[in-house]
Structure 1
């Protein structure tokens, strides 16, 4: 990691201040250095800390390694179609950190960012005040874990964790474990516990799923050939609505496979619908299990059908495919579960995060706290976002697409800087 002292400005002013030192902020720094633009990256914890401190032990990528394409630092390993495990991801990121050698101020929290009347941004942090001509917000959109208020009514002996704090089955007390939510984290954590022989009660949400492999290849490879990952948000059928979608559940574990909740149920996992309430010693669930499983399978089959169409249209030789047929169906919708007799000793909340940009004093946010922007460029002069899901494409919040977004943002920053320099020169003349 580079020493910020080497890059310190006596007056505390920078051309660009980047908030956040994850893969998005470091990608922006890479392109700013390429463009010769002075800047500072401010990180509340340590760079790329989320990958190190908020992932469980058995975590691995759900996208193949070849999609790791951080700027100037593509995946160089010998398993492009494999899925890096947690320690391999950290190793890849360590190489990227050294490659970028960004000017970073770590363990520094940004308290407030506000544009002054003269157009310059004033930035207040836990380690002093700075100013900058332009600001890039690269802190992601997953800040505050969502835990429902009903959690407050749980008996004290039930251990509660949010998905980012889960590490392994051994760290939980003996007994059944309830996992709430079936996005990528919930589905994979439920699998991790199930494979370890733990009794799992799973509250199934509305997340879709997809196949890992279909017709002889990874589904990601097919979708890449179909140019799905190049589709900009404005061309997506849902437009900006796609940003609210839950990610499809699938896993890269043990070389990659489907996550089939029906199969888990047939093996003894207890599936319920959405968790709605807790009162008088009973959990209450919505009668949505059957419809949620069916909806996830519909998405699974729809993606595969689009691959069938692509294969047929282009006359590609590939093994035959077939639609997924449910291996298990719920006999009934169970809507209650007794807290004590269920033997539940721990609950893992896997229902996502809400953004927290309360430190950014700028009129760019909608009612749910998300910024208005076009490909990361906000209506406010000199203010940008990068690293958000579907900022521009599917890969915007991932290793695969953040480089393209960062390069685009830095191009806009360079143009704005040149425009200001010309204006200043004209005034001086």
Structure 2
């Protein structure tokens, strides 16, 4: 005889910082719920980051609900172990009703309007479903990778830990967004010969006119700008993050300087055929575009300083320290010395388990600050869900509070003095 599925008012799918933030606010309001996490709470930070990983934004921006960073270095950048410790403390503080090691395999609405939630453990039902699994589930590796020689070791950025895990020889890093640029730097600093296929990622300064650029932008109100007010509107969600680093106290990442020091730069990797890697002739354009963004941000800071009459040390805008020579659009793989490739071209979401009419033609959820047009379905933790910080440790808590307020209204639950233990 089939057992009756357990019913919970709210099912939260995903136990990272987004799902935990939702749980925090649900507990504050006394709303029964369960969090389903196929691994362990907040596991991604510990299992999918390289050894020298650190935050690229200052610690003071870490502001999970009820758990603002209060350490000794607010202007510093937490390293991997420190981030893990910070998140473990958040998990303990929230003490969520979580089912770890339980994967959600299917969510669909029944005829009575209630959602059926099938999991690897057992079946449940729920009136509200919050999708907190994020947008970075499936690593992107191009089909050309299947045609590369088996002698070349290939890993994705989420598998990279340190230079020693790769075989002796030269390394090709594909993609120069935040992960690609930092991994290329990690290998470069370790003395490895690096080839870097550059894309169209922008960059920004770490420090400018006496302060961290993030601090300037915060004062300028950039991090409060909503997606509805952004010049690109929804298009900003497709933007690649600026590359910069918090390593060793924070510094710029300048690919041109890497080139001066021996790193080989190429344009976008397009194909592999006849034993050669083929690159687009766009390296100059990509480097110039990144520098244009870099100087544009600094110019906006200059304008803000002038308008507010702020005293700040003068600083020149960036001037290129290296220019590409004759374009290199192919590389004989066998003769290059490259023995390993690190793919740093991102991830794609995986919402195949959710049967709901909430996706656009590209498979991305349609929503307004996480609230979809289908009653009872919500998303959280996605890039620019509402503001720049929506997918980060800074503003995900505010998005969670907004979603939970909507849920509370739908459930008709009156808030009472149930507080998360602190």
TM-score > 0.5 by shorter chain: yes
2:344 aligned with 1:345, yes or no?
Answer: no
- How far apart in 2 are the matches of 1:187 and 1:164? 14
Q: Which residue of 2 aligns with 1:111?
A: 105
Alpha-carbon offset, residue 34 of structure 1 = 0.2
User: Does the Cα contact within 8 Å between 2:5 and 2:123 map onto a contact in 1?
Assistant: no
- How far apart in 1 are the matches of 2:148 and 2:325? 28
Tell me which of the two structures has the higher relative contact order, counting C-alpha pairs closer than 8 angstroms and 6 or more residues apart: 2
- How far apart in 2 are the matches of 1:19 and 1:419? 21
2:326 aligned with 1:332, yes or no?
Answer: yes
Which SS does the other structure have where 2:173 is aligned?
Answer: strand
Instruction: Write the deviation string for residues 213-235 of structure 1: whole angstroms up to 9, x where unpaired.
Output: 00000000000000100000000
Which SS does the other structure have where 1:340 is aligned?
Answer: helix
Q: Which residue of 1 aligns with 2:418?
A: none
- How far apart in 2 are the matches of 1:325 and 1:368? 39
Alpha-carbon offset, residue 321 of structure 1 = 2.0
Matched residue count: 412
Equivalent residue in structure 2 for 1:57, among 36, 51, 67: 51
- How far apart in 1 are the matches of 2:74 and 2:413? 42
Alpha-carbon offset, residue 117 of structure 1 = 2.0
- How far apart in 2 are the matches of 1:75 and 1:384? 27
- How far apart in 1 are the matches of 2:68 and 2:280? 45
Which SS does the other structure have where 1:379 is aligned?
Answer: coil
Which SS does the other structure have where 2:412 is aligned?
Answer: helix
- How far apart in 1 are the matches of 2:402 and 2:357? 23
2:9 aligned with 1:15, yes or no?
Answer: yes
Equivalent residue in structure 2 for 1:137, among 131, 136, 139: 131
Q: Which residue of 2 aligns with 1:29?
A: 23
Q: Which residue of 1 aligns with 2:216?
A: 222
Unaligned runs of 5+ in 2: 415-422
Which SS does the other structure have where 2:18 is aligned?
Answer: helix
Alpha-carbon offset, residue 176 of structure 1 = 0.3
Which SS does the other structure have where 1:201 is aligned?
Answer: strand
Which SS does the other structure have where 1:337 is aligned?
Answer: strand
Q: Which residue of 1 aligns with 2:420?
A: none
Alpha-carbon offset, residue 11 of structure 1 = 5.5
Structure 1 stretches of 4+ with a deviation exceeding 2 A read none
- How far apart in 1 are the matches of 2:283 and 2:369? 37
Which SS does the other structure have where 2:123 is aligned?
Answer: strand
2:122 aligned with 1:93, yes or no?
Answer: no
Taking structure 2 as the reference length, the TM-score comes to: 0.96
2:386 aligned with 1:395, yes or no?
Answer: no
Equivalent residue in structure 1 for 2:73, among 74, 79, 96: 79
Taking structure 1 as the reference length, the TM-score comes to: 0.95
User: Does the Cα contact within 8 Å between 2:202 and 2:291 map onto a contact in 1?
Assistant: yes
- How far apart in 1 are the matches of 2:413 and 2:99? 28
Aligned-CA RMSD value: 1.2
2:258 aligned with 1:264, yes or no?
Answer: yes
Alpha-carbon offset, residue 282 of structure 1 = 0.7
User: Does the Cα contact within 8 Å between 2:31 and 2:413 map onto a contact in 1?
Assistant: no
- How far apart in 2 are the matches of 1:315 and 1:332? 46
Q: Which residue of 2 aligns with 1:425?
A: none
Q: Which residue of 1 aligns with 2:37?
A: 43
Alpha-carbon offset, residue 419 of structure 1 = 8.3
